[in-house]
Amino acid sequence: MVRHSFRSLSVRNFRYFTLGQVLSVTCGSMMFVAQDWLVLSMSGDSAQTLGVVTALQFAPVLLCSLYAGRLADRHDKRHLLVLANIAAGTLALLLGLLLLSGAERLWHVYVFALALGTVNAVETPARMSFVSEMVGPDLLPNASAMSAAYFNVARIAGPAIAGVAISGFGVVSVVLLNAVSYVATVAALLFMRPQELTRPEVRPHDAKVSDGLRYLSGRPDLVLPLVLVACVGLLGFNFQLVLPLLAKTVFHTGSASFGMLTTALAAGSLAAAFVTAGRSGRPSQRLVLGAAVAFAAVETAAGLVTGYAAALALLAATGFAAAYFAQAANHRIQLGSDPQYRGRVMALYFLIFQGSTPVGALLCGWLAEHWGVRVVLWGGGLASLAVTFVLIFVSARYRPDRPDGTRPPEPEQDRPDHPDQGERKTRASTG
């Protein structure tokens, strides 16, 4: 069973990629903790200021993601990832040097957040669609779950280490360590064997964003999970803003306890990643909707508890439900997409999932400032629950997959029982 769960790591390219990502993402998680702590320290624990920084960090997703998906479909994804990681490492180094000089101001953090968000908006669609090129369609669900696993291992280790490092050595130590970590990611990408990558038969060099949107317009089975992801992302996925405010304004703890709250959420997410690692086919629409209901219910409960220990336990459960829902939606969308459009489809997924964060961050910052951070949690959970029930009703009542209300069969390559699950549309590249 354990060997089955890690089977995608038998692929050399994906193994190298994972090793590089573990170090880089761990230090990146430490960096986010350091950035949030720095902002709160410089702004007098202002929730609205933290909301502005979070919004700036995710705003480029709204502007750049669809174009980034076009780049991922037109160009070599590995080369795009090398350039994006070099840019991110350079930005972290510049911020670290600024902190060492003692000349930092709040607007410097604003600029850094915006610039790093721009790099991430380009990097993420390429990275998400690159996974299928490394492992092929058969291993894609397992590789996607493994990617979620190492992200959550990083989110567990990163905040805990960051809390100790900030207390002992200051924010600047975390920022500089993050800058160095990008060397591992770039090295892993450069050591890959390009001839072993599985790529689309035809690389659409004239790929357009409008072509991807037109493709999606004929795929209602992809549109519903995208709508659900948009709503839940806007209403319920605001943990980067909520957790530091819980630590400082509700439980009145230091950076180490803040790290523990983040670690609890990540531990639940890691458990969900291992649970979904055994998935071998495309998840059903019913599973995606059910996962959204579970997440909304648990997040509501997390916002209502008052004790620190209870909050840790329910944040772990929230992390599990959130990751399980996100993986189910991701697998349904990615396994249902034609490889020639996958970069643009996953860019739209990323745009919808993360692009709602700037709006959500500003809204949640205002709510937390005037009503308290608990309202952000239980209110977001209840709102997510209401939206999910509306979509359940719509999908059951109208079945909008065809104009006459009937549901067509899924594309042959998307069926879990199909022998190649899409291999007829891909082939091993000769380099």
Tens digit of each residue's pLDDT (9 = 90 or more) over 217-229: 778 888 888 888 8
pLDDT above 70 for 414: no
Q: How confident is the model at residue 212, as a pLDDT?
A: 73
- The domain in which residue 78 lies consists of 8-193+208-412
Domain holding 218: CATH number?
Answer: 1.20.1250.20
Asked whether residue 312 carries a pLDDT value surpassing 70, the answer given is yes
Phi, psi (deg, nearest 5) at residue 75? -120, 170
Residue 356 has a pLDDT of 67
- Lowest-confidence range among 125-129, 208-212, 291-295, 377-381? 208-212
Confidence of residue 431 (pLDDT cuts 50, 70, 90): very low
Residue 81 located in a structural domain: yes
- Token digits for 37? 């702590």
Is there a domain that residue 186 lies in?
yes
For residue 341 the two structure tokens come to: 């459009």
Query: Which has more confidence, 413 or 308?
Result: 308
Q: Which residues pair with 200 in a beta bridge?
A: 426
Q: Provide the H-helix boundaries in 218-251.
A: 220-236, 239-245
User: Rg of the Cα trace of the chain?
Assistant: 21
Q: What is the DSSP letter of 377?
A: H
Task: Give the pLDDT confidence score for residue 423 in this predicted structure.
Answer: 36
- Taking only the tens place, the pLDDT of each residue in 59-100 is 787 777 777 777 877 778 899 999 999 999 999 999 999 999
Residue 415: pLDDT band with limits 50, 70, 90: very low
> Could you tell me if 207 and 70 are in contact, meaning their C-beta atoms sit under 8 angstroms apart?
yes
Q: What's the rounded mean pLDDT across residues 299-316? A: 87
Contacts of 84 (CB under 8 A, 6+ apart): 119, 120, 122, 123, 126
Is residue 429 situated within a structural domain? Answer: no
Place of tokens 């702590």: 37
Mean pLDDT score across all residues of the chain: 79
Mean pLDDT in residue range 25-31: 86
Helices (H), 170-219: 171-190, 209-217
Q: Which among 156, 178, 175 has a CA at the least distance from the CA of 166?
A: 175
Q: For a pLDDT cut of 90, what percent of the chain falls above it?
A: 17
- Does residue 393 form part of some domain? yes
Instruction: Give residue 254's pLDDT band: very low, low, confident or very high (50, 70, 90).
Output: low
**Per-residue pLDDT for 33 more than 60?**
yes
CA distances from 23 to 13, 27, 90, 192 (A): 16, 6, 17, 17
Q: Which residue has the tokens 């350079």?
A: 90
Structure confidence at residue 187 as a pLDDT band (50, 70, 90): very high
The segment with the largest mean pLDDT, out of 196-200, 324-328, 424-428, is 324-328
Q: Answer yes or no: is pLDDT of 242 > 50.
A: yes
Classify residue 199: in a domain, yes or no: no
Residue 175 CA to residue 96 CA, distance in Å, equals 5
pLDDT of residue 208: 65
Question: Who has greater pLDDT, 379 or 358?
Answer: 379
In a domain, 269, yes or no: yes
Q: How many separate domains does the chain show?
A: 1
Residues 6 or more apart whose CB falls under 8 angstroms from that of 106 comprise 39, 42, 43, 49
Phi and psi, residue 427, nearest 5°: -155, 160
**Domain presence at residue 240:** yes
Q: Rounded to whole angstroms, what are the CA distances from 123 to 61, 130, 282, 346, 347? A: 11, 10, 25, 12, 10
Kindly state whether residue 427 falls inside one of the protein's structural domains.
no
5's CB contacts (< 8 A; 6+ apart) are 142, 145, 274, 277, 278
pLDDT of residue 405: 35
